[in-house]
Structure 1
Amino acid sequence: MEKQTSAQRPKRSAQEQMLRGSAWMTAGSIFSRILGAIYIVPWRIWMGAAFLTANALFTKGYQIYSVFLIIGTAGIPSAISKQVAHYNAMNEYKTGLRLFFNGLLLMAGMGILSFGALWFLAPILAVHDPALTQIFRSLAWPLLLIPILSILRGFFQGYNEMAPSAISQFIEQVARIIYMLLMTFIIMRLGSGNYVDAVSQSTFAAFVGAVFGLGLLAVYFLRQRQRFVELAETSDDNLQISIPEILLDIIKQAVPFIILDSAINLYYIVDQYTFNPMMHVRYAVSEHRLDEIYALFAGNANKLIMIVVSLAVAMAVTALPLLATAATRGDKHEVAAQITNTLQLFYVVMIPAAVGMAAIAKPLYVLFYGYDELGVHMLELSSFLAILLGLFTVLATLLQGMFRNRLAIAEMAVGFAVKIVLQWLMIYFFNVYGPTISSMIGMIVTSLLMLHTLRVDYHYKARQTMRRLLGICGFSALMFVVVRGIALLMGMFLGTQRALPAILTIVVAVPLGVLVYGYAILKTRLADMIVGSRVAGIRRRLHMR
């Protein structure tokens, strides 16, 4: 039997591509985030009494590094994904390939520049703290490789190939964590016991992970190189764009991604530089204790909620090339359908995941960080913030996919301004919860503005989406009551402050919560309406009418 070529294979619908791509990106992102949280358990044990201080140092380093990383990659991976999909939709594969190769050179240069910037600015950014300066400089090294790694991911995503990105992301995280834990054990248990050195090696592990991730993507690219060349040879080649025009095109598309991708990090950076000074004005508390409290919400809670937020990131990455393709073709019906599908898929997955995390906040926090009542409350509140962070990520990507970059930036800026204006007021009234509450309000403002734009300009099915959202919220609330009830009941008999009872509580409560929510959306056929007809097969196998 003759093998089908890629051109002969039946094309998947946009919804199928969205679901398939989201599945790959979600798997890669979720597993990476889970690994990124699990390492905390041995890391915390080996750090001992220095854990909270070390974690605060780690968190402060990563917040600044994340912004340098976004600037270093210059938003180009997402721009490449969007533009490659745009040119491929026009059958201009050759132009997309030229854009990729020239972008690769540009990213290598950006990596060198961002490395130099973080290295030399480290003392200033650390406010001349020697320990934090050391951490920043250890984080400068991965900036040399990650821009190149990211553009390779963006190229594959432009072809709607999510598997290489997902697998490389997982391998990168595995290599990073192995190096991090190995060096932490050597320094803290076999060596000097200097927690600053241990944190420094833990952050340098990002460079080790990047080496492995880049190597895997290079193998994927070389294996498929012939296919890309063949597609380029069959392209129309009607566009005659010079290299300077290509680079300018990349930069023009990249700048909005820099700003929007930095938004969540900027919220936390505002907290990093304002939390301690503002708390000192209102409350009598030591600088050391404030650093520990900052680590509770910006470090501990943030690591766990980002597992849930990664669901939204996966959907956004998948939706971007599909939307760019539909927008390029001028298919308004397809654009509206894509917006509707993306939002409803986001709600049906993200809301129960975040609400479920809030329901098991206590055993979950105990498992990863040990018992801390304030930390548990921080995680509960942050779980609801996760929904808003995820919604912003998806909405910003939808607007960018339709080339509404300036509007997306303007609406993000309004919410960010609200966050800054309310920061002191929220800290004054809500104490340590103030920064999280001001972030929630800022994200709500931005999300409402973006939803209004999508409804007015693109006429997605807003009423249908709202009706289904109400159902999702109702079923999620029911699940919350069941899961929290089980957690409280088991806590009465097993205790709540040790790791083993926490694990048993999670193992029992989470599957029951999934069953409650899953049964509800299957029985009411809400899952069929959002995910598609394939869900009907699950219901038949479960003998549900």
Structure 2
Amino acid sequence: MSSNLLKGTMILTIGLLLSRILGVLYIIPFYQLIGEEYIGLYQYAYVPYSIMLALAVSGMPVAVSKFVAKYNTLGDYATGRKLVKSSMVIMTITGVLGFIILYTLAEPIASLVIKDNDAFVTVHNVATVIQYVSFAVIVVPVMSLIRGFFQGYQHMTPTAVSQLIEQIVRVIFVLAGAFLVIKVFKGTENTAVSFAVFAAFIGAIASMFVLYWYWRKLKPEFNELLEESGNTTSDVSLKNIYKEILVYTVPFALVGVINPLFQFVDMITFNSAMTQIGISGKESGVLLGMLNLTTQKLVMIPVMLATGFSMALIPFITSYYAKQDFVQVRRSLDQAFQILLFLTMPAALGIAVLSNEFYHLFYEQSDIGSTVLAHYAPVAILFALYPVTTAILQGIDRQKLIILNLLIGILTKLVLNTPLIKAFETDGAILATSIGYIVAIVLNMVVITKTLQYKSSMVMRRILLIVIINVAMLSLVFVCKWGIEHLFTVDSKFGALLVIFVTASIGAAFYGYVTLRLGLAQKLFGEKITRFTKKFGF
């Protein structure tokens, strides 16, 4: 299991990493094309879109991968095939309905977010970009269904490649469309943003072509497994199939929507709360753009590790839990928590320490932007932990508690957001998000601990060691950064890149050396890294 989990996770992680890098890099030229004020308009479209998408998809990739993995383990390959065939129609209908709902509700949503008389962009501007992005909801549910089917067979490559192609095509359309509108046809920034958000639909179409190619390639393998099982027709009724799928998908529909819902709470409360303490509509719109888009893009880079883990983890946990092999389930949890924090913590805290350089490199020199990023970046650790804990609960059939814990977390954010924003401005929104996530994660861990009798002092010791090493690494990075800034004038994007490259390289080298010397990396990543490190005397 350990090797397969790492392999599957690595494939998804690499694909997600490349996709995430593209998703951050394209913002640099796009930001320069449309400007700081209009970047907020861009994020106004994506928050309600993400919510509708999560509801339309209903956690389908994870639910289908869990369902298919479960029946494949039992040697029943026919039931998974039956599910996919019937679900194609249902997900198509769901996508069309999701599109109609989002398109129709665009103006009411925009009216909740902004007022014409106190903001830089109008209700009509916001409604238009929401309508343009809504077209992608038609395609994505079916696309997600197919990805889930592949993952159920532990084929992670189709998902990773299709995600990467989807992002590449989307980025090209965003930048080309914005450039043509503004530079060639001399159009407005509002029109450029509308074309940019429509790129989500174009990227989804490209991803569908990739998945179709993989389906043609892997279909003989699926057919062979079906024939070898001696059971080419499913004895499970569609009613029972969908009853089981519904149990899986409802929690994951809400899990997938948690981050957009937290952002939506900011969308509908941030501007009004800031206005009440004397901040102008234009300034609060810029700050909200920093919170929900520019810094969010950078903060979410470490989080893709959690996404890869949660997607790859579920089929394995489901399989072992179905066999009542609790020893392997606990080992899977040990490995997942340790590797996740081992990789996520230095990335998140490193971004916080180098926030000024990161914000300058990707966007512009901004004391406010870098401060928001510095305070927001550590929250990435919580963003990473949450999907893994929910994936574990999903794997051990605790769906109802996922919903309860999620709702409590969101309610916590909703109750605290306005008073904390009034008290601490942008930091208040970050603090409310952190508290909401902590509440949800703690509740999830309570369920995991009680259900699996999961108490690992070894994991706690390893986590403490990871924290200590990170503190030492960050201290070294901070000293190196201080030295460079006192020796050289760092006032350009190249200078920011140089500081990031030098300090991150030193930090990574230190982190790698110490964890290898202590044997921590070898214990987490297994035999392959052990064979490699022996050559270098570790």
In which range does the TM-score fall when normalised by the shorter chain?
Answer: over 0.9
Question: In 2, Cα distance between the equivalents of 1:25 and 1:279?
Answer: 40
Question: In 2, Cα distance between the equivalents of 1:33 and 1:447?
Answer: 24
Residue 265 (str. 1) matches residue 249 (str. 2): no
Helix, strand or coil for the counterpart of 2:302? helix
Q: CA deviation at 1:250?
A: 2.2
Residue 42 (str. 1) matches residue 29 (str. 2): yes
Question: In 2, Cα distance between the equivalents of 1:117 and 1:429?
Answer: 36
Contact 1:32 1:173 in 2 (8 A): yes
- CA deviations on 1:122-145 (whole Å, 9 max, x unpaired) are 111111811111101111111111
The aligned runs of 1:483-498 (5 Å cut-off) are 483-498=477-492
Helix, strand or coil for the counterpart of 1:241? coil
Residue 534 (str. 1) matches residue 528 (str. 2): yes
Residue 434 (str. 1) matches residue 418 (str. 2): no
Matched residue, 1:277: 272
Give 1:73's match in structure 2, choosing from 46, 57, 60: 57
Larger mean CA deviation between 498-507 and 245-254 belongs to 245-254
Helix, strand or coil for the counterpart of 1:52? helix
Q: CA deviation at 1:429?
A: 2.6
Matched residue, 1:169: 163
Matched residue, 2:149: 155
Question: In 1, Cα distance between the equivalents of 2:234 and 2:523?
Answer: 41
Residue 300 (str. 1) matches residue 294 (str. 2): yes
For residue 110 of structure 1, what is the amino acid of its counterpart? T
Matched residue, 1:249: 244
Aligned sequence identity (%): 30
- CA deviations on 1:443-482 (whole Å, 9 max, x unpaired) are 1122122222222221334211111001101111111112
Gap regions ≥5 residues in structure 2: 112-121
For residue 322 of structure 1, what is the amino acid of its counterpart? F
Residue 447 (str. 1) matches residue 447 (str. 2): no
For residue 349 of structure 1, what is the amino acid of its counterpart? L
Matched residue, 1:112: 96
Larger mean CA deviation between 368-377 and 38-47 belongs to 38-47
* Backbone CA RMSD of aligned residues: 1.5
Contact 1:94 1:231 in 2 (8 A): no
Residue 516 (str. 1) matches residue 525 (str. 2): no
Residues 92, 264 of structure 1: alpha-carbon distance in 2 compared, 3 angstrom cutoff: same
Larger mean CA deviation between 248-257 and 68-77 belongs to 248-257
Q: CA deviation at 1:236?
A: 5.5
- CA deviations on 1:410-456 (whole Å, 9 max, x unpaired) are 12222222222222332233222100011111111221222222222
Helix, strand or coil for the counterpart of 2:397? coil
Question: In 2, Cα distance between the equivalents of 1:30 and 1:211?
Answer: 21
Matched residue, 2:135: 141
Question: In 1, Cα distance between the equivalents of 2:362 and 2:169?
Answer: 20
Question: In 2, Cα distance between the equivalents of 1:105 and 1:487?
Answer: 56
Give 2:12's match in structure 1, choosing from 17, 22, 25: 25
Question: In 2, Cα distance between the equivalents of 1:527 and 1:83?
Answer: 33
For residue 487 of structure 1, what is the amino acid of its counterpart? K
Question: In 1, Cα distance between the equivalents of 2:327 and 2:405?
Answer: 25
Contact 1:411 1:449 in 2 (8 A): yes
The aligned runs of 1:16-415 (5 Å cut-off) are 16-47=3-34, 51-127=35-111, 129-235=123-229, 237=231, 240-281=235-276, 283-415=277-409
Question: In 2, Cα distance between the equivalents of 1:521 and 1:426?
Answer: 39
Q: CA deviation at 1:280?
A: 2.0
Helix, strand or coil for the counterpart of 1:126? helix
Contact 1:76 1:251 in 2 (8 A): no
Number of residue pairs aligned between Structure 1 and Structure 2: 527
Contact 1:30 1:307 in 2 (8 A): yes
Contact 2:44 2:130 in 1 (8 A): no
Q: CA deviation at 1:205?
A: 0.6
Question: In 2, Cα distance between the equivalents of 1:491 and 1:164?
Answer: 45
Helix, strand or coil for the counterpart of 2:301? helix
Question: In 1, Cα distance between the equivalents of 2:476 and 2:536?
Answer: 22
Larger mean CA deviation between 106-115 and 230-239 belongs to 230-239
Q: CA deviation at 1:380?
A: 1.0
Q: CA deviation at 1:375?
A: 0.7
Contact 1:362 1:496 in 2 (8 A): no
Question: In 1, Cα distance between the equivalents of 2:6 and 2:166?
Answer: 24
Larger mean CA deviation between 120-129 and 261-270 belongs to 120-129
Question: In 1, Cα distance between the equivalents of 2:488 and 2:223?
Answer: 62
Contact 2:82 2:234 in 1 (8 A): no
Residues 449, 236 of structure 1: alpha-carbon distance in 2 compared, 3 angstrom cutoff: farther
Helix, strand or coil for the counterpart of 1:308? coil
- CA deviations on 1:96-138 (whole Å, 9 max, x unpaired) are 1111111222111111111111111111111181111110111
- CA deviations on 1:76-102 (whole Å, 9 max, x unpaired) are 221101100011111100111111111
Question: In 2, Cα distance between the equivalents of 1:489 and 1:137?
Answer: 50
Helix, strand or coil for the counterpart of 1:451? helix
For residue 38 of structure 1, what is the amino acid of its counterpart? L
Helix, strand or coil for the counterpart of 2:154? coil
For residue 348 of structure 1, what is the amino acid of its counterpart? F
Question: In 2, Cα distance between the equivalents of 1:276 and 1:530?
Answer: 45
Q: CA deviation at 1:329?
A: 1.4
For residue 246 of structure 1, what is the amino acid of its counterpart? I
Gap regions ≥5 residues in structure 1: 1-13
Q: CA deviation at 1:409?
A: 1.7
Q: Give the alignment's TM-score, normalised by structure 1.
A: 0.94
Q: CA deviation at 1:239?
A: 5.6
Contact 2:78 2:234 in 1 (8 A): no
For residue 103 of structure 2, what is the amino acid of its counterpart? W
The aligned runs of 1:407-426 (5 Å cut-off) are 407-426=401-420
Q: Give the alignment's TM-score, normalised by structure 2.
A: 0.95
Q: CA deviation at 1:302?
A: 0.4
Contact 1:58 1:135 in 2 (8 A): yes
